[in-house]
């Protein structure tokens, strides 16, 4: 693999399975739907960030760091996986989590990923806004300097050029999956937020000379044009590490109409997507990312966007541990 030229620490169960969703596809009556099971990457419940952390942890070790620091919302999947990666790789971990999401439930600030962060041994610092988050980081940096510690600061979602290499590697896996299964791929779809997953896929497909259409479903950003610009910029920064041809603006495809009221606020369509997949395939999505992403795929299938004889691949980015703190979104079903 091209990405083997860059050092990584093996944290994930790779390659992840590519699973044909037979009953789900039949229910929709459209193209064949496949799922890349990146909820099965291991590391404290799995998820897409584990791929990124393989490269980020390697970079942290190369720099002589002893502590991983990262950011997220209170129920961040990335934070949980960073805490797990730190534990497995022998680093200390500080999570700076911000009260960004306006969801209320009895366990939102104690259960789900927050519970797992603490079980994993992370030092959890909670901020009320981004400014306070930066103040906490500044304090950590001063304390580290005074105490002879070295921090490795990971951006939200692990979405740096180094982190996005994890999804360049996933693109190479997908190329293999498509050949083995003889797929006629119309699109690769997934929830997009901090941009690293989509940027890495685009960089990876560019590096391998593939021409697969990658469609992100925006679940977090009100400024869609800015999000698309960030995806393209990060894809080209990542591609530069692989000597890949640059990605043009016409290769960045994002659907913006499925986010709903705001990031972290469930939608009726996302809930329906979660229940449909659970009841046809026994696979759990989450209300923040993969549920909204799947609602976009379902809607596009019902609109007739894809030929019936084509294959659509959905990347399951994880998030199951947050389901319990969204119990009040599901009523009495």
Which residue stretches of the chain are H helix?
A: 22-28, 49-62, 77-89, 112-119, 130-147, 161-181, 196-208, 224-241, 268-281, 290-302
What CA–CA distances, in Å, run from 51 to 81, 114, 131, 230, 273?
10, 21, 29, 20, 25
- At residue 2, the pLDDT reads 64
Q: Which pLDDT score, from 0 to 100, does residue 1 have?
A: 65
- Cα–Cα distances (Å) from 61 to 9, 53, 82, 93, 96, in that order, read 9, 12, 14, 13, 21
Inter-CA distances, 186 with 24, 102, 150, 327, Å: 17, 36, 46, 35
pLDDT at 209: 95
Residue of 76, 206, 220, 295 marked active site? 76
Tokens 């009495």 sit at which residue? Answer: 332
pLDDT at residue 120 in the model: 98
pLDDT at residue 5 in the model: 67
For residue 6, the model assigns a pLDDT of: 86
Which residues have CB under 8 Å from 319's CB, separation 6+?
39, 47, 77, 285, 286, 288, 289, 290
Query: Per-residue pLDDT for the chain (333 aa), expressed as one digit of tens each?
Result: 666 768 999 999 999 999 999 999 999 998 999 999 999 999 999 999 999 999 999 999 999 999 999 999 999 999 999 999 999 999 999 999 999 999 999 999 999 999 999 999 999 999 999 999 999 999 999 999 999 999 999 999 999 999 999 999 999 999 999 999 999 999 999 999 999 999 999 999 999 999 899 999 999 999 999 999 999 999 999 999 999 999 999 999 999 999 999 999 999 999 999 999 999 999 999 999 999 999 999 999 999 999 999 999 999 999 999 999 999 999 755
Its pTM stands at 0.96
Please report the domains of the chain, with CATH numbers, ordered by start residue: 2-48+160-329 (3.40.50.1100), 49-158 (3.40.50.1100)
Asked if 76 is an active-site residue, the reply is yes
């Amino acid at each position: 693999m091209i990405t083997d030229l860059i050092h990584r620490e093996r944290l994930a169960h790779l390659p992840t399975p590519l699973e044909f969703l037979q009953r789900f596809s039949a229910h929709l009556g459209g193209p064949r739907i496949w799922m890349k099971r990146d909820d099965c990457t291991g590391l404290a419940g799995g998820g897409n960030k584990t791929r990124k952390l393989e490269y980020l942890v390697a970079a942290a070790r190369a720099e002589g760091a002893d502590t991983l620091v990262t950011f997220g919302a209170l129920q961040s999947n990335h934070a949980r996986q960073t805490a797990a990666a730190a534990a497995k790789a022998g680093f200390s971990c500080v999570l700076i989590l911000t009260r960004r999401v306006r969801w209320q439930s009895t366990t939102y600030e104690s259960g789900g990923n927050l519970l797992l962060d603490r079980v994993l041994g992370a030092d959890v610092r909670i901020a009320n806004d981004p400014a306070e988050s930066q103040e906490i980081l500044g304090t950590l940096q001063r304390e580290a300097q005074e105490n002879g510690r070295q921090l490795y600061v990971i951006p939200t979602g692990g979405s740096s050029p180094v982190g996005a290499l994890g999804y360049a590697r996933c693109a190479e896996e997908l190329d293999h999956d498509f050949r083995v299964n003889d797929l006629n791929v119309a699109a690769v779809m997934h929830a997009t937020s901090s941009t690293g997953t989509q940027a890495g896929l685009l960089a990876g497909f560019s590096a391998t000379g593939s021409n697969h259409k990658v469609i992100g479903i925006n679940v977090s950003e009100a400024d869609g044009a800015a999000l698309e610009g960030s995806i393209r910029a990060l894809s080209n920064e990542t591609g530069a590490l692989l000597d890949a041809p640059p990605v043009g603006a016409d290769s960045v495809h994002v659907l913006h109409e499925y986010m709903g009221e705001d990031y972290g606020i469930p939608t009726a369509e996302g809930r329906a997507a979660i229940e449909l997949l659970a009841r046809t395939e026994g696979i759990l999505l989450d209300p923040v990312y993969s549920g909204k992403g799947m609602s976009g795929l379902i809607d596009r299938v019902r609109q007739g966007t894809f030929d019936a004889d084509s294959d659509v691949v959905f990347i399951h980015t994880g998030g199951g541990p947050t389901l319990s703190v969204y119990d009040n979104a599901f009523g009495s079903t």
